[in-house]
Amino acid sequence: MRQLLVLLAVFSAIAVLPAVITSEFSLNIVIMMLYAALLGQAWNILGGYGGQFSFGHAAYFGTGAYAVAVLQVQLGINPWIGMVAGALLAMAVAAFIGFATFRTGLRGSYFALVTLAFAEVLRILSNSVDFTGAGVGILIPLAPGPGNLQFETKTGFFFLIWSFTLAAFLAVWWIGHSRFGASLAAVRDNEEAARALGVNAFRVKMGAIILSGLFGGLAGVFYAQYFLYLDPYIAYGPAISVESLLVPIIGGMGTLFGPLLGAVALHTVSELTRELIGDVPGISLAIYGALLVGMVLFLPRGLAGIAARFTRRNKPAGTETRHA
């Protein structure tokens, strides 16, 4: 319960930010942090709590994004409905990928690579069919208004992503305190042992991937509505898959607050290196990469690992050593 109170307090504090931040640019950074935290939390459900490393979260992100865009542009369907459709379709894609891989017992790096391949297949398909606009991409008409799930100001988008992200964090809090979460942790730590205890590993993993797909899809819906343009590379390209896993791993896998810490840390590092280094192409990104390496060298358990050192209560769920 205490963790829930902390969670609600943190999100309440975040909700006040639009009132105190007068800079649209700064508010945009906060929005992009929440968006990264959402993507990261989506990955964390499956990767951190479930121990299934996905390299293909772009599959869910892209499906959510394309669903809301295509329904609006090709069929004139309101994006609020598109949002629901996007979430459902992303869950369906997740269920399909989960079924195909968990049924055949793929784990570890095999699972990682197969998810990557599924995302690539979707990228190629979206590049080849008419209704996505193929390589030309798809442009959502600019029509600000809450009815169109577009907002005049960044504050509107802030509350959209804030609610998506809060929902994801609440879901993960629930996972941490439910039978489902306990089964998921058991499967992650030792699948055979979990089975012996009567856990239906397949069902548990399916639950995790579908929930993960839901929030990945919502991140895609948000992206589409915020930036209004998609092409196959933006929607299903590897960049999204990488960001999804980077955020929670840096923050602390299998912890409730890890994705938030990771999102804030990564964006801060990225902003600061660019501010400090200036406009020589390449150098600021190189330093960003070096800082990533440094973080891994010195913070082997992510940022949440430091917190855990002090508080003991916020014990990272995924601390069992998995040998390299």
Partner 1 sequence: MPSGLLPSHPLDTAMPDLAIIIPSVLNGITTGSLYALIALGLTLIYGVLHIINFAHGALLMVGLYAVWFLNVQLGIDPYWALLIVPPAMFALGYALQRGIIGKASHGRDENILLVTLGLSIVIENLALYVFRSDTRIVDTPYSFETVEFLGAFLPLPKVIAFFGALVTATVLWLLMARTDLGRAIRALAKERKGAELVGINTEHVYAMSFGLGIACLGVAACLLLPSYYVTPQVGHGFVLIAFTIVVLGGMGSFVGALIGGLIIGVVEAMGGLFLGESLGQIGIFVIFILVLMFRPQGLLGHKV
Partner 2 sequence: MTGQSMKKGVDRRQFLATGAAVLGASVTGFPAVLRAQEQTVKIGLIHPVTGFIAFSGTQCREGALMAIADINAAGGIKSLGGAKLEAVLADSQGKPEIGAAEVTKMVEGGIHGIVAGYASSISLATSQEAAKTNTPHVVDVGVSDQIVNRGLANTFRFSPGYGKIAEFAVSNLDTINKAAGSPAKTAMIIHEESLFGTGTAELLSKALPEKGIEVIDVIKHANPTRDFTNIVLQIKSKKPDLIIPANYYNEYVLLARTMRQQKVEAKGIYSVLGGAASSPKFVAEFPEAAEQIMDCNHWYDPTSDLALQRKAAAEAKGLTYTYEVFLAYNAVAFLADAIERAGSTDKEAVIAAMGSSTFDKHGMPYGPTKMVNGQNEGAQPVNTQVQKGSIEVIYPDKFASAKPIFPMAL
Interface residues with partner 1 (CB under 8 A) are 53, 73-74, 100-101, 104-106, 108-110, 112-114, 116-118, 120-121, 124-125, 127-130, 133-136, 138-139, 242, 245-246, 249-250, 253, 280-283, 285-286, 288-293, 295-297, 300, 321-324
CB contact at 8 A, 69 and 224: yes
Binding status of residue 130 toward partner 2 by CB under 8 A? no
| Buried/exposed code over 47-57 (b: 16+ C-beta within 10 A; e: otherwise) | bbbbbbbbbbb
Q: By rule CB under 8 A, what string of x and - marks binding of each residue 147-166 to partner 2?
A: -----x--------------
- Give min distance, CB of 233 to partner 1, in A: 11
224 binds, among partner 2, partner 1, none (CB under 5 to 8 A by kind): none
Closest to partner 1 by CB, 18 vs 248, is 248
Task: Look at the chain and count its residues.
Answer: 324
Burial of 20 (0-12, 13-18, 19+ CB in 10 A): exposed
Name which of 207 and 232 has its Cβ closer to partner 2.
232
Please report, for residues 32, 90, 133, 195, 227, the alpha-carbon distance to residue 79 in angstroms, rounded to integers and kept in the order given. 21, 15, 18, 42, 14
Query: Which amino acid is located at 61 in the chain?
Result: F
Q: Quick check: 272 binds partner 2 (CB under 8 A)?
A: yes
State whether the Cα torsion 63-65-68-69 is positive or negative. negative
Nearer to partner 2, 77 or 272 (CB): 272
The yes or no reply on residue 137 touching partner 2 (CB under 8 A) is yes
Q: Is 273 in the site for partner 2 (CB under 8 A)?
A: yes
* Contacting residue, 141, 293, 300, 312, with partner 2 by CB under 8 A: 141
163 Cβ partners below 8 Å, 6+ apart?
none
Q: Which residue is associated with the tokens 């912890």?
A: 255
Q: CA 173, CA 168: separation in Å to the nearest integer?
A: 9
DSSP 218-252: HHHHHHHHHH-EE-HHHHHSHHHHHHHHHHHHHH-
Going by C-alpha positions, the residue among 120, 63, 71 that lies closest to residue 94 is 63
| Closer CB to partner 1, 37 or 245, in the complex | 245
User: Is residue 290 near partner 2 by the rule CB under 8 A?
Assistant: no
Closer Cβ to partner 1, 115 or 183, answer by number: 115
Query: CA distances (Å), 93 to each of 156, 209, 245, in order?
Result: 29, 10, 19
Least distance in angstroms from the C-beta of 245 to partner 2:
13
Q: Report the residue number, 58 or 185, with the smaller CB distance to partner 2.
A: 58
134 binds partner 2 (CB under 8 A): yes
Considering only residues 81, 139, 193, 296, which one is a binding residue for partner 2 as defined by CB under 8 A?
139
CB 98 within 8 A of CB 210: yes
Partner interacting with residue 112 (select from partner 1, partner 2, none; CB below 5-8 Å by kind)? partner 1
As a 3-state breakdown, the chain gives helix, strand, coil percent values, each rounded to 5, of: 75, 0, 25
The residue from 8, 117, 233, 287 that contacts partner 2 (CB under 8 A) is 233
210 versus 303: smaller Cβ distance to partner 2: 303
**Partner whose binding site includes residue 233, from partner 2, partner 1, none (CB under 5 to 8 Å by kind):** partner 2
> Coil, strand or helix: which one is 51?
coil
E strand map for the chain: 138-139, 229-230
Catalog residues that contact partner 2 under the rule CB under 8 A: 17, 20-26, 28-30, 32, 36, 127, 134-137, 139, 141-142, 152, 223, 226-229, 231, 233-234, 239, 243, 246, 264, 266-268, 270-276, 278-279, 281-282, 284-285, 288
